[in-house]
Structure 1
Amino acid sequence: MSNTPPPPPSGTSISVSRGFAGWLDSQRVSLAFTSYQTGQLFLVGLLPTGSVSFNQQNFTRAMGICRDGDRLWLGSLFQLWRLENMLRSGEQANGSFDAVFVPREGRTTGDIDIHEIGVLADGQPIFVNTKHSCLATLDPVHSFRPYWRPPFISKLAAEDRCHLNGLAMEDGRPAYVTAVSQSDVLNGWRARRDKGGVIVDVASGEIVTDQLSMPHSPRIANGKLYALDSGRGQLISVNRESGAKEDIAFCPGFLRGLSIHNGFAIVTASKPRDGSFKELALEQEIARRDGEPWCGVFVIDLRTGDLAEWIRLEGDIAELFDVAVLPNVACPMSLGVETVEIQQTISIGKGDIC
C-alpha cells in the first residue's frame, strides 16, 4: 500500500498553527474534513515523527462526514459512502497510519444534495436531503426513504425550498435541524439569507430560535445546543428552552461544519463564492476588523471563545464543508475509489476456515 496521497489541487498550500500538532497529541484525536468544491476528503493526524499528516482522497462533491465508531459515512454528489477502518487494534499501515478507511459501500441516491449525516440508534444513517427539504434514510430499492420534514414544508419536491442543511443527533435520534428560511416555494430561501434562518425541534416541529443568518450545523454537547450563525461568522449557543442566543466566537469565514470535543469546537470556514457574502453581516464584520476571509479549520476554546489553533488552505481550495473528530486515532488515511491502491489492498475478515 502506498502512503503517498494524491496531491492537493495545483496551487494549493496548507499551513497549521504552531501549536496544532501539540493540540492533536494532547487531545489524542485526528480530524476529517471535506471540500465539496474540489471533491476531497482530508484526514489529518500526526506521523510518528510528530509532523502533521494530511491525507486526501477524491470523492466527487464531498459533503457531510459522520464518524460512527470505526466507520465513516460520507455524502457525495449522488452517493452515500460507507468507509470502514480495515485495521485491527495495534496494526499500522506503512509504519505510520493507525487507521485506514476503505470505501466498502456506495449507496446510489441520485443528486439529492446530501448535507449533514447522523446515525440512528439502530446503526442506520440518516441525512439531510436538502433538495427535497427533508430528513431521509436509505432505501434498498429507491433513492431515499423520507423520514421527517419541517411543518412549514407542504410537500416533498426537488425544489430546495428552505435550504434545510444541518442535523443534531441526541441519543440515537434526530433532535434539531437548521434551515436558512421557512420558505415553502422553489429556492425561496435565497431571498431570506440575512435573518430568515431557524433551528427546528424535530420531535415537536416547533421553532427553537429564529432570526439567524444562514445557520448551519446544530450540535449537542453536554446537554447544550450549539450552532453556526454562518451569515455573521459566529459560533453560538442556544438555550433549548427559551431560544435565547449567545455569541461564543467570531471566525473570519463562512462557517459550515462543526464538531465538539473535550471543551473545544472545531469548525470549517470558507471564502466567499462570487460575491456570496454580499448583504451578509459577515462581510462587514471582516472589514470592520480589518481582516480577510479564510478557508480553513478553526479550533475554538469554548471556555474563552479564543481561536486556539488552526489549519489554513490557500490557493485553489477556497471552500470546505464538514468536519469530524476521530478520537483515539493518531494518524488516519483513506483509500480513494478510483485508485490503484484500492484494487491492490485486500483484507480478510474472521471466518470459519483458515
Structure 2
Amino acid sequence: MKQPQQAKIAPFQLTHTPQVPEILHRLGCSILLSTFQAGKLIAISPKDENSMVQLARNFTRPMGITFSDAYQKMALASFNEVLQFRNTPRLAASYPNKPNVYDSLYIPTQTNYTGRLDLHDLSYGENDQLFAVNTLFSCICTFDTNYNFIPYWQPDFITELQPEDRCHLNGMALKDGKPKYATAFATTNSRFAWKENLTQTGVLIDIETNEIILEGLGMPHTPRIINGELYVLLSATGQLIKVDIQNKSYTVITELNGFVRGMSFYEDYLFIGMNKLRQNSSSFAHLDVAKLSNFAGIKIVHLPSGSLQGILQYQSSVDEIYDVEVLPDVFRPNILNNSTELFTQAINTEEMSFWQRNEP
C-alpha cells in the first residue's frame, strides 16, 4: 500500500503570527537579518496589513549588520570582507527585473578586505566611522585603505593581539558616536579558553574605563543602548535584561525561551533573533535553553510592557541568525550583492543614476 506523500516545504518558508504584518505595516519598516549558516542576508517586508514578502541575497557567512539613517548607508560583515552599501531610490524605481516595485535599493559601494577575522557586531559611529568587533583578535577595530584592520580597543586582560579568539569578544554598543560597552564570553587570555565554562563566565565591559560592570553572565550578546538605557541578550538563558550600571546589577525584562542573538529597536518594539540549536552541538547541546530552541526566526517584544507581540518562524533553510536590523520608512527594500551581472550595470553618482544596457 502506497504511503501518502508529504508536501515538500519550500526553501526559506516563513510563517508568522497574524499580527506581524500589521505591526510592520503600521510602523512603516522592514527587517533585515543575517544568517551565516544559510549564507543569506534576508529582507522581510509588509505587503499589506495581512501578508509579507521576503527577499534573500547570497553572501559568504554574513554576520553583523549596521545601518546609518543619516547617510542612507548599510554595512555587512562577511567571511573575509566588510561591504558597505548605499541606498539609491532612483535605481530602485528602474530596477530592470522588477521596475516600480522597490522603494529602496542598497548597492555595494565599498569593500574592505579584512581576512578571516570572524567579525561580529558592526556599528557606524561619529562622522560615519565604521567600528567592528574583531572576535579573532579580541579587539574592537576600524578600517582604512592601507591595512586589513586598525585596532581601536582591547580588554585590559588581553595581553597581546593574536588570532586566537581568547575571550570571544562579540558585541558592542556605541554612545555619542564611540564604542562604550562590550560583551565577551569570559576574561580568559589564551587561545579559545572561553570555551571551558562558557555559560557562567560572560562579562559586560565599560570600554572607556575597562571596568567590568557585570560578570557571571550566560553567553551575553547584542548590547544595545535604547532610550538611554542599556539592554543585553543572554543567549544561554534566553533572557532580555536591562542593566543597572551604577549598581552593577540587572533585571530580566522577558524570558524568550530560546537561544537569542541579534536585536534591533524601533518605535517601542524590539525585534529579537531566535536560533534553532543543533542537539549534537558540543558547545550548545548542554544548555538549559537548548531543548526550547526549536526554531529560527524573530520574536517581536513591546519594550514598555515586556510583552510578546508577534513571532516569525522559519520552517526550512534557516537555523541560525546572527544579527537583526530594522530599516525605517522602507516598505520594499532590494539589495544587490557584488557577484551578479546587475551589480556591474548599476551606476550611481551624486547627480545621476542609471542602469547600463548591454551592447547589441
Answer whether TM exceeds 0.5 for this pair: yes
CA separation of 1:179/1:50 partners in 2, compared to 1, >3 Å: closer, same or farther?
Answer: same
1:72 aligns with 2:74: yes
Q: How does 1:133-144 map to 2 (within 5 A)?
A: 133-144=138-149
| 1:101-157 CA-partner distances (Å, limit 9, x unpaired) | 111111100000010011121211000000000000003211100000011111101
Q: CA deviation at 1:278?
A: 2.8
- Percent identical pairs in the alignment equals 31
- Partner SS state of residue 21, structure 1: helix
2:46 aligns with: 46
Q: CA deviation at 1:198?
A: 0.5
Aligned pair 1:219/2:224, yes or no? Answer: yes
Number of the residue aligned with 1:271: 276
Structure 1 match to 2:4 = none
CA deviation after TM superposition for structure 1 residue 314, in Å? 2.0
Name the CA distance, whole Å, in 1 between partners of 2:317 and 2:93. 35
Tell me the residue number matched to 2:15. Answer: 15
Q: Do the aligned partners of 1:253 and 1:295 also contact (CA within 8 Å) in 2?
A: no
- CA shift at 1:49, angstroms? 8.8
1:176-325 mapped onto 2 (5 Å cutoff): 176-273=181-278, 274-275=280-281, 276-283=283-290, 286=292, 293-325=294-326
| Paired amino acid for 1:283 | A
The structural deviation recorded for 1:17 is 1.8
Q: CA deviation at 1:279?
A: 3.0
- Aligned residue for 1:111? 116
Instruction: Please state how far the C-alpha of 1:87 moved relative to its aligned partner.
Output: 1.1
Aligned equivalent of 1:332:
333
Deviation at 1:48, TM superposition (A): 6.4
d(CA) in 2 for partners of 1:203 and 1:146? Answer: 15
Give the CA deviation at 1:50. Answer: 6.2
Match of 1:24 in 2: 24
Provide the residue aligned with 1:63 in structure 2. Answer: 63
Describe how 1:89-128 pairs up with structure 2 within 5 A: 93=95, 94-128=99-133
Query: Measured at CA, do residues 306 and 155 of structure 1 come closer, stay the same or move farther in structure 2, by a change above 3 Å?
Result: same
- Give me the whole-angstrom Cα distance separating, in 1, the residues matched to 2:311 and 2:102: 22
| TM-fit CA distance, 1:56 | 1.0
SS in 2 for 1:231: coil
Range with bigger deviation, 226-235 or 338-347: 338-347
Distance 1:49 1:272 in 2: 32
Q: Distance in 2 between matches of 1:315 and 1:295?
A: 9
Spell out, residue by residue over 1:195-225, the C-alpha distance to the aligned partner (whole angstroms, 9 max, x if none). Answer: 1001100110001111111100000011110
CA offset at residue 88 of structure 1?
Answer: 4.7
Distance apart, 1:73 and its partner CA: 0.6
Conserved? CA contact 1:252–1:269, under 8 Å: no
Aligned match of 2:160: 155
- In structure 2, the CA distance between the partners of 1:348 and 1:120, relative to structure 1 (3 Å rule), is closer
* In structure 1, distance between residues paired with 2:319 and 2:50: 27
What CA deviation, in whole Å up to 9, does each residue of 1:18-49 have, x standing for no partner?
A: 11111011112111110001111111112369
Counterpart Cα distance in 2 of 1:129 and 1:306:
34
- For 1:15 and 1:262, the matched residues in 2 are separated by 23
Cα distance between partner residues in 1 of 2:176 and 2:302: 25
* Contact kept? 2:91, 2:105, Cα under 8 Å: no
C-alpha contact (below 8 Å) 1:224/1:240 kept by paired residues: no
Identify unmatched segments of 5+ residues in structure 1: 1-8, 287-291
1:337 shift after superposition: 1.8
Partner in structure 2 of residue 342 of structure 1: 343
2:6 aligned residue: none
Please say which of residues 335-344 and 103-112 is displaced more in the overlay.
Answer: 335-344
Alpha-carbon distance between aligned partners in 1 of 2:315 and 2:48, rounded to the nearest angstrom: 26
- What one-letter code is carried by the residue in structure 1 that aligns with 2:304? R
Matched residue SS, 1:32: strand
TM-score, normalising length: structure 1: 0.90
Q: 2: CA distance between counterparts of 1:25 and 1:240?
A: 35
RMSD: 2.0
Q: Give me the whole-angstrom Cα distance separating, in 2, the residues matched to 1:90 and 1:84.
A: 12
- Distance in structure 2 (CA, Å) of the matches to 1:101 and 1:294: 29
Q: Is the 8 A contact 1:92 1:98 kept in 2?
A: no
Question: Is the CA contact (8 Å cut-off) linking 1:47 and 1:97 kept in structure 2?
Answer: no
Aligned-pair distance for 1:252? 3.2
Aligned equivalents of 1:123, 1:348: Cα separation in 2: 19
Structure 1 Cα separation of the partners of residues 346 and 270 of structure 2: 35
Q: Secondary structure at the match of 1:232?
A: coil
Alignment pair present for 1:35 and 2:35: yes
Who is 1:5 aligned against?
none
SS at match of 2:37: coil
Give the letter for the 2:265 counterpart.
Answer: I
Q: Distance in 2 between matches of 1:339 and 1:87?
A: 19
| Secondary structure of 1:325 counterpart | strand
